[in-house]
Amino acid sequence: MGSDAISALRKNQLFAPLPQAELAQLLDGHRVMSFAEGAELFSEGDRAEHLFLILSGQVTLVPSASTGATAATIRLIEGDTAGEEAVLTGMPYCATARALSPTSVMAIPAATLMTHLERHFETAIGMISAMATHLRDRVREITELKMQSTAERLAGFLLTLAGPATGRAVVRLPYEKRHLADHLGMDPATLSRAFAKLRDSGVVASRTDKVEIADVTRLRSYGNGATFTH
């Protein structure tokens, strides 16, 4: 069993506490899959046959169309998992997972994972606990987004990219603006208006992926210091 595969599992909070012998067992039958930008890893309502661990690239979880065209999406990056809630509950996938860029994932068979958990009760409890914590964080993130204006959502996201900077900063958007709009729960035209609203706070977006923030400390005061994760 490749040490690289075990190392990749250890980077995820679901698998990090497991001893190496158990990680090796979970990797029985796994495969590495590659997806082009825009390709679907799985669709909402599909039978959950795999848990996916992102090795490189980015994935977005798109909610049901019934929630509205501008519902906020969830962006997953290297080390994150997709589909775990469906696999662990035996339910169909509850969202559609789509690659935001060329993406490589490790696909762990649901049957392998569930058989292992049936034989290792303590591991199952720990994994469910970690998943519950993760889902609570996601729910909190989405709830906070819904309470913010579009400009506040954008400001919070830019502040995450700026990190601990206090003065002028230049950040680069991690993906195209159309994907950023989806992630923040708005359409591209609304995103453009949000950038325009932040111009008075010293935010200037280029035609590419570069955004200049004149004063990060000043931007933090916008909307009572909106925050954003991932």
Whichever domain contains 155, its CATH number is: 1.10.10.10
In the chain, the amino acid numbered 9 is L
The CA distance from 23 to 19, in Å, is 6
Question: How many folded domains does the chain comprise?
Answer: 2
Domain range for 160:
148-224
In a domain, 230, yes or no: no
In this prediction, residue 165 has a pLDDT band, given cuts at 50, 70 and 90, of confident
More confident residue, 219 or 128: 219
Tell me the pTM.
0.65
Is the domain of 163 the same as that of 95? no
Over the stretch 179-220, which tens digit does the pLDDT of each residue have?
888 878 788 899 999 999 999 889 999 888 899 999 998 898
SS3 state at 196: helix
Q: How far apart are the first and last CA of the chain?
A: 31
